[in-house]
Chain A
Amino acid sequence: MRGFIIKEFYHIFRDVRTMIILFGMPVIQILLFGFALTNEIKNARIAVLDHSKDDVTMEIINKIASSGYFILDENLSSESDIEDRFREGKIRLVIIFEQNFAENLLKGNKPGIHIIGDASDPNTASLLVNYALAIIRDYEADLIINQASFNMIILPEPKMLFNPELKGVFMFVPGIITVLLMLVCAMMTSISIAREKEIGTMEVLLVSPLKPFQIIVGKVAPYVVLSLVNAVTILTLGYFVFGMPMQGNIVLLLTEALLFIIMALSMGILISTIAKTQQVAMFISLAGLMLPTILLSGFIFPIENMPVALQVLSNIMPSKWFIIIIKSIMLKGTEIVYIWKETLILILMTVIFIGLSIKNFKIRLA
């Protein structure tokens, strides 16, 4: 058994591709997602068309420009420039103030602000419009409080709990851990078992006095260790580089991670009972596991926005439940009593996968 695990480590450490996937991927992915692929907006270029040019519009423009989200690129002079600027593609948002803005405001005439977004990228556009609106509302609110002359309007004060700054990285760290554990465990084990079948050593192992159970444990044990190392690496990076909070119990988190790892491994074993070659194993893992994990787990696209059919489908994605668990523990400091349902689902899935693998294996032997 010990010899078996040593052998498995030889395979892992002597294959450059395996090493890159195991240790390069986590770091690269988290840095990529953390720094480059954020859906937060910073320094979006905007233009302003100010027909009024008074104190109030100046103040609003300053407030917008100093928010950090926007850079004031240009003061336009006529409506006809707007379309040209958008076509050039440099400007993401144009804000137009109507004439006599301050005057109308003082008279209580509710002056208009026109916000035009470049919806060729609809997500960014709506985010930018929302940011701009929020800043203007903020200004409005200050005004109301300061002057007290207006009739009291209902003043909503939204507060974003657990992620007050709406940082994208809080989403990505749990997502990346999930995707990577899936990748390392399910794909790597299925490929490495398929590899033994391909080169014929699986036959030799099966003919040897080793029991199938020992073969499987020997094959997956190294991946359990490496996956845990990976999970800890990502968490550490998330914590120190991106300021990801760690509200909950770290032992609970690692235990849940271990459960997810075992779940993914049993998936990998199941794949390997079907796949005869490394290519097939890789294809099944990528098409059958990675894509759904990324697309349907709520990692990138919110599940609530999906069509009902996909929402239902997302329930059979183990990663969905694991992402919920990590987020609850890390961001909310949730205890096991509140996530027992998700945990149970993962345990159940593990049992099902192992059961199916044993069944497939038995069929082959019978």
Chain B
Amino acid sequence: MTINDHQHIIHVENLVKKFGSFVANDHLSFHVKKGEIFGFLGANGAGKTTAIKILCGLWKPTAGIIKVAGLDAYRETEKIKKNIGYMSQKFSLYDDMTIAENFTFFGGIYGLRRKEIRLKMNFFLEKLEIMEYRDRVIQALPLGWKQKLAFSIAIMHEPAIVFLDEPTSGVDPVTRRQFWDMIYEAAHEGITVFLTTHYMDEAEYCERVSIMVDGRIEALDTPGELKKRFSVQSMEEVFIRLARK
């Protein structure tokens, strides 16, 4: 295996995570290229969340070589945290604070200066065309806006990788489409996107996907190759084939 480390923003070799005798991640090996949109699929309980938490530096792996943005997942978790962005399915903004206050707060915890925060905020709000709402509290905003704001805030500090944990759950198709435009744009700017999703049509938008079953990666390739290999029409069928095995 000849791996060029510069190209691989996430490098995982034989990652094992055990909780007592339960093996949540069983020798996972994969890599993610810089600027790639990588889909991390699997049924509930397949071990996706565990793997993401390890990659984000929240949990320590039991064994394996794990490098995130060139940093070691055992010793350099603090540095990893500075280099990643994270957005969960709950969108996780503070409901009782305004858009501007949320930007200020989250920018602040990533160590951004006030001026940088203001510039970034203006940039995103103009792009989303919601500049005049900057002093509205989040609570009053439509779900689609919250989602886009959460994503903007997750990439405000220009992370190398952004982890999106089911970022589109509960959102209507039109909004989902718009959201994917934002994802493409971020990837185009060189931010690697690592995402989990339950929507199989979204899996088609990813450049490569891995499918986890019972703690192991059962398949990893481009959506096109996977469909060819299982000779089916859609990712949904690929997923069902693997999950039923």
A interface list, Cβ under 8 A from B: 2-4, 6-7, 10-11, 14-15, 199-201, 203-211, 365-366
Chain A's closest residue to B82 (CB) is A209
Query: Can you list 16 A-B contacts with CB-CB less than 8 angstroms, sorted by A residue number?
Result: A3-B108, A4-B109, A10-B96, A10-B97, A200-B89, A200-B92, A203-B88, A204-B86, A205-B109, A207-B57, A207-B81, A208-B81, A209-B82, A209-B110, A366-B59, A366-B60
Nearest first, the 6 closest Cβ-Cβ pairs linking A and B are A200-B90, A3-B108, A200-B92, A207-B86, A204-B92, A14-B96
Q: A208 contacts B60, CB within 8 Å?
A: no
Secondary structure dominating the interface of A: helix
Look across to chain B and name the residue whose beta carbon is closest to the beta carbon of A13: B96
In the assembled complex, the Cα of A56 lies from the Cα of B84 at a distance in Å of 92
Contacts of B106 in A (CB 8 A): 204, 208
Q: From B90, B97, B109, B110, name the one whose CB has the most chain A CB atoms within 10 angstroms.
A: B109
Chain A CB within 8 A of B58 CB: yes
- A365 with B58: in contact, given A203-B88, A209-B109 (CB under 8 Å)? yes
Least CB separation from A366: chain B residue? B60
Give the chain B neighbours of A208 by CB distance below 8 A.
Answer: 81, 86, 106, 109-110
Within 8 A of A (CB), among B81-112: 81-82, 84, 86-97, 101, 104-106, 108-111
| A206 and B81 alpha carbons, distance in the complex (Å) | 9
Question: When the two chains form the complex, which single residue of A7, A15, A209, A365 contacts B111, counting CB atoms closer than 8 Å?
Answer: A209
Query: If A210-B109, A365-B60 touch, does A199 touch B81 (CB 8 Å cutoff)?
Result: no
**A3 to chain B: which residues have CB within 8 Å?**
104-105, 108-109
Q: How far is the CB of A277 from chain B (nearest CB, A)?
A: 13
- Distance in angstroms between the alpha carbons of A366 and B19 in the assembled complex: 8
Alpha-carbon separation in the docked complex, A3 to B117 (Å)? 13
- Inter-chain contact B94/A200, CB cutoff 8 Å: no
* A205: chain B residues within 8 A (beta carbon): 109
Across the interface, name the chain A residue whose C-beta is closest to B165. A203
B46 at the interface (CB under 8 A from A): no
User: Which residue of A is nearest B88, CB measured?
Assistant: A200
Residue in A closest to B84 when the chains form the complex, CB atoms: A207
Once the chains are docked, how many angstroms separate the CA of A212 from the CA of B230? Answer: 46
Query: Smallest distance from the beta carbon of B84 to chain A beta carbons, Å?
Result: 7
Whole-angstrom distance between the alpha carbons of A4 and B105 in the complex?
A: 7
Closest B residue by C-beta to A205: B109
CB A197 to nearest CB in B, in angstroms, measures 10
Say whether B237 faces chain A, with CB atoms less than 8 Å apart: no
Q: Which residues of the other chain, A, contact B57 by a CB distance below 8 angstroms?
A: 207
**Complex Cα distance A15/B94, Å?**
13
Residue of A nearest to B92 (CB): A200
Select which of A10, A15, A207, A365 is within 8 A of B101 by beta carbon. Answer: A10
Mask for B198-242, Cβ within 8 A of A = 1, else 0?
000000000000000000000000000000000000000000000
Q: Which residue of B lies closest to A202 (CB)?
A: B92
A203 to B59, CA, bound (A): 12
* In the complex, B149 has a CB within 8 A of chain A: no
CB of B185 closer than 8 Å to a CB of A: no
User: Which residues in window 128-156 of B have CB below 8 A to A?
Assistant: none
B96 touches A15 (CB 8 A): yes
**Residues of chain A contacted by B108 (CB below 8 angstroms):** 2-4
**What is the CB-to-nearest-CB distance from B17 to chain A, in angstroms, rounded to a whole number?**
10
Residues of B within 8 A of A201 (CB): 92-94
